[in-house]
Chain A
């Protein structure tokens, strides 16, 4: 192993129910692996931060026995650092304890060091030191709606955080609660779910309480976001004021994944599942669907995917990279991971038979001497 490239390298991080695997590639086809890191702990969240001239991989780690924590590595997993006092811990006055870190979101290029996190119980956190220490967002924590937010099957968590380029406009998605928006950088929050159905509630059009599964922003159109809901795929063009269905043309409107292109207007990917009560790809045939016109039409993409698949793809078990053309990656609860170097037109299996894939993240990293160390840095505790 040991690729000593001077050009672009790709880093792929795969968080599973039983640990983390890391991979690098020069062509997004051949991958060199290391892992498992954190064997027997689940890795539900990963952030790859390529700002500040370094590649920092941050992971939310959770052991059934020993609880949740956040660790980071600046050497592609050769060594891991866990801040002594814990990167994410609730202040004592809240009386709360972190259950699970659901999201780690490095902010914009223009705000190096700023990293957001979403956690269970429903909470949003912000770091200004590259993810070593996070502060609880009090505006959302003290929100009067809190007592009415519910827990989805996987727990009650803030799982999506989207920040606009200027940094003042923040959208958070929580299950269950729906989409909340802040126009003041996170100081105050209001629900923004108009048009999103909550068919499972007595009033199917509540102000909040929707079970949003994932949101993502259009990289090129300010105020445009996409949402995959618990049944329902939506788009807003007015910063969340109104959501409209874009599910027509998809084989099913259920699913967990929502990805957007790193640069191009109108391009998004979903991975439909048949239904709430039948969480398998429609007809047992796995396919990604991409729109290039903001949800007007969808294209089925299944070249290179296994013919039969009865596992689901979870909300964070999919990612894009920032290359041109963009890479698309996802993993299944059956431990299969696929990569596409052409925006989903063709996929190839990266690895199979891993534990349930919970989170996938990919990044382009420039520079020489990048290689995932062959020796595993697995750590159970």
Chain B
């Protein structure tokens, strides 16, 4: 089955060794949470940028699956299908 891709914004790419896309195999049921565990396993600083130490998604980090922000779906429990592209996008915040 085709891998799942996670697309990072440019500001986070240095924390993933310069990569813009991280991939994970689609084995069994993959959720956004398990996908983040998988792709950030080698990049703990990147992991902490996206989620706090309780595992919660940071307030102004948005993750899109098939065009929908996961908070409008099932949050980190949202399932991801083989071959899908998951986008990490910072929300518009601050001044």
Contact = CB atoms under 8 A, between A and B. Distances in A.
Given A64-B60, A65-B58, A84-B45, A89 B53 contact: yes
B48 to A, nearest CB: 6
Among A67, A69, A82: residue with most chain B CB under 10 A: A67
B48 A69 contact: yes
Interface residues of B, number: 20
B91 A65 contact: yes
Contact of B58 (A66, A82, A92): A66
Nearest to A86: B48
B13 to A, nearest CB: 8
B49 A67 contact: yes
Given A64-B93, A66-B58, A97 B52 contact: yes
Given A65-B90, A381-B11, A86 B53 contact: yes
Given A97-B53, A380-B11, A65 B48 contact: no
B61 A66 contact: yes
A85 interface: yes
Interface string B45-66: 1001110111010101100000
B14 interface: yes
Given A69-B48, A85-B44, A380-B11, A64 B94 contact: yes
Interface string A69-92: 100000000000010111001101
Contacts of A82: 45
Interface in A32-86: 40, 63-67, 69, 82, 84-86
B interface, over-half SS? mixed
A289 to B, nearest CB: 33
A82 B49 CA distance: 12
Contacts, number: 55
Contacts of B22: none
B21 interface: no
Contact of B54 (A65, A95, A379): A95
Contacts of B53: 86, 89-90, 92, 96-98
B91 to A, nearest CB: 7
A84 B12 CA distance: 15
Interface band, chain A: 20 to 34
Among B11, B12, B44, B48: residue with most chain A CB under 10 A: B48
Among B11, B50, B53, B91: residue with most chain A CB under 10 A: B53
A63 B61 CA distance: 11
A380 B11 CA distance: 7
Contact of A66 (B44, B49, B54, B56): B49
A84 B44 CA distance: 6
A41 to B, nearest CB: 10
Interface in A292-345: none
B52 A98 contact: yes
B15 interface: yes
Contacts of A67: 48-49, 52, 58
Interface string A349-381: 000000000000000000000000000000111
Contacts of A84: 44-45
A96 B14 CA distance: 28
A97 B56 contact: yes
A90 B45 CA distance: 15
A97 B58 CA distance: 10
A155 B49 CA distance: 21
Contacts of A98: 52-53
A97 B90 contact: no
Among A65, A82, A90: residue with most chain B CB under 10 A: A65
B44 A65 contact: no
Interface of A: 40, 63-67, 69, 82, 84-86, 89-90, 92, 95-98, 379-381
8 contacts: A65-B58, A65-B61, A66-B58, A92-B53, A97-B53, A97-B54, A98-B52, A381-B14
Given A379-B14, A381-B11, 4 more contacts: A67-B58, A92-B53, A92-B54, A381-B15
Shortest beta-carbon contacts, A-B, top 7: A97-B52, A66-B49, A89-B53, A65-B90, A65-B60, A64-B94, A84-B44
